[in-house]
Amino acid sequence: MRKKSLTLVPALAAGIIVLTAVAAHASTLVVYEGPGFSGHSKAITRCGVSNIPAGYNGSYKWYPTGQSARMYNQPNAEGVAHYVLSSSRYTEQSTPFGWKSTFIEC
C-alpha cells in the first residue's frame, strides 16, 4: 500500500506543474517591422510590462488566450494606457502604430 501512495505523489505534482504552466501562458502580441505584417517580427507573450522593440511598430497582430493588454505610448508602461486589446477578440492592424510598451494582464 505504501508503494502506491509514493507513485501517486509524483504524478499529482506533475499534474499541478502542467496546469500551472498552461495557466501562465499569456496572450500573444506579434509586432512587425513594416506595414502589412512585413519584415521581421517579434512575439511578446510575457505577463506584465514589455517594451516593444525599437523599429517594430509597422503593424501588429493580437492573439488573445484570455488575457487583455494595455498599450502605452511611453516605454515601461508609464503614463496613461491609450488602448486595451481585448482578452477575447483577435485584433490586427496593418499600418504603423505609436505604442512603445504593453502590460499583459495575467
- What is the tens place of the pLDDT at every residue in 72-87? 999 999 999 999 999 9
CA 60/CA 14 separation, integer angstroms: 36
Is residue 42 a part of any domain in this protein?
Answer: yes
> How much is the mean pLDDT over the chain?
85
Residue range 6-42, pLDDT digits in tens: 444 444 444 443 333 344 568 999 999 999 999 999 9
**CATH number of the domain to which 86 belongs:** 2.60.20.30
Phi, psi of 49 (to 5 degrees): -80, 135
Rounded to two decimals, what is the model's pTM?
Answer: 0.76
Q: Is residue 69 in a domain? A: yes
CA 103 to CA 47: how far, in whole Å?
Answer: 7
Structural domain includes residue 21 = no
Cell of 15: 499534474
Number of domains making up the chain: 1
Domain for residue 8, yes or no? no
- Structural domain harbouring 75: 26-104
Q: What is the pLDDT of residue 28?
A: 98
| 1 within domain boundaries | no
Half-sphere exposure (CA, 13 Å, Cβ side) for 65?
Answer: 12
Q: Rounded distance, CA 31 to CA 11, Å?
A: 39
In a domain, 60, yes or no: yes
